Amino acid sequence: MTRVLGIDPGSRLTGFGVVDADGSRYHYVDSGVIRTLEAPFPERLRIIFEDLAQLIATHQPAIMAVEQVFVQKNVSSALKLGHARGAAICAGATSGLDVAEYTPRAVKQALVGTGSADKAQVAHMVRQLLGIDAPLAEDASDALAVALCHVHQTPLQQRIHNTQESRP
Amino acid sequence: MTRVLGIDPGSRLTGFGVVDADGSRYHYVDSGVIRTLEAPFPERLRIIFEDLAQLIATHQPAIMAVEQVFVQKNVSSALKLGHARGAAICAGATSGLDVAEYTPRAVKQALVGTGSADKAQVAHMVRQLLGIDAPLAEDASDALAVALCHVHQTPLQQRIHNTQESRP
């Protein structure tokens, strides 16, 4: 059994998702959103770091998976996102976790089978694979997606059948 | 007496400088460069965070001062710098320090008296104000400059005289 903490970092909202993987089965453990919103910037980074360090202490994941970002609208948004990712990755690295990074394309490829899938398709597959009926917050869903990408980077469609069969 | 930790963050080299300010006098405490260079990226962030946390524990500064950055050559360099700044600011914020940010223009204004001063002028003033004869590593000098900017944001030229008089 491998426990993965997926992270979707942002300077205002940071999604997290914890997934257990056991062979071809996935189990949802936890997910949510760390809201920093209008706090002063250094305080936002402290909240991201400390909330994630607390989550890691609680759930004891084996690895942190983070979406790798190359493009941003502009330099200012890239700087802000970089700070938030830096805080999140620090929380993992200083807690002794390996940190794996996946491109958005790799996440889409792993979950939907094509790197050009849209966000709704990815969100649908996250709920399917984890047997979640209720809608998820977008950032929590994205974090679960990168966690699922880590546990299995090849197309997962064929696994849905197994996952659905294994439900009570 | 106020002790300030100045930081010049970078994804390969992070400068730090510790300065004591007592009224119109400045005292050099420590400076140097944290080298992360070719380590994997999450490991670089861990090194920045943990080395700075250790420095903070050793020197017990009252505040962290960091140069504020708005412009970068491109989105990719902005993202990298953002990560390093995020790791550095996290080290300060999680150690309970206030974190102050100053634009490069404010640093130049404070040290040289004009926001359009060049790097060599700033480096010269850092050595003058702190009574340092030997050359400093560029990143260490930049970190000391932002620390000095924090302790006194108005032009400092008139203080050099006092500083020089106070030397043995």
Domain ranges of chain B: 2-166
Annotated active-site residue B101? The verdict is no
The interface residues of chain A toward chain B in range 124-153, judged by CB-CB distance below 8 A, are none
Interface check for A44 against chain B (CB to CB < 8 A): the answer is no
Question: A4-8, A109-113, B46-50: which range is least confident on average?
Answer: A109-113
B67 is in an annotated binding site: yes
pLDDT surpassing 70 at residue A153: no
B chain contacts of residue A92, beta-carbon cutoff 8 Å: 42
Interface check for B7 against chain A (CB to CB < 8 A): the answer is no
d(CA A6, CA A64): 6
B50 is in an annotated binding site: no
How many Cβ pairs within 8 Å bridge chains A and B?
Answer: 107
What is the per-residue pLDDT for A167?
Answer: 45
pLDDT band at B144 (very low <50, low <70, confident <90, very high): very high
Listed in sequence order, the DSSP H helices in chain A are 41-59, 75-94, 104-112, 119-130, 138-151, 157-166
Domain covering A2-166 in this structure, CATH number = 3.30.420.10
Work out the percent of chain B whose per-residue pLDDT is above 70.
90
β-partners of residue A48 are none
What's the rounded mean pLDDT across residues A79-104?
94
Which ipTM value was assigned to this complex?
A: 0.83
B chain contacts of residue A83, beta-carbon cutoff 8 Å: 82-83, 85-86, 89
pLDDT band at A166 (very low <50, low <70, confident <90, very high): very low
pLDDT surpassing 90 at residue A127: yes
Closest residue in chain B to residue A49, using alpha carbons only: B90
Gap between the terminal Cα atoms of chain A: 20
Interface check for A158 against chain B (CB to CB < 8 A): the answer is no
Exposure of A83 by Cβ count < 10 A (0-12 exposed, 13-18 middle, 19+ buried)?
Answer: buried
Q: Which of A41, A83, A101, A150 to mutate to test the interface with B (most CBs of B within 10 A)?
A: A83
Q: Which of B23, B10, B30 is nearest to B144 (CA)?
A: B30
Q: Which of A81, A62, A79, A71 is nearest to A22 (CA)?
A: A62
CA atoms within 13 A on the CB side of B54: 8
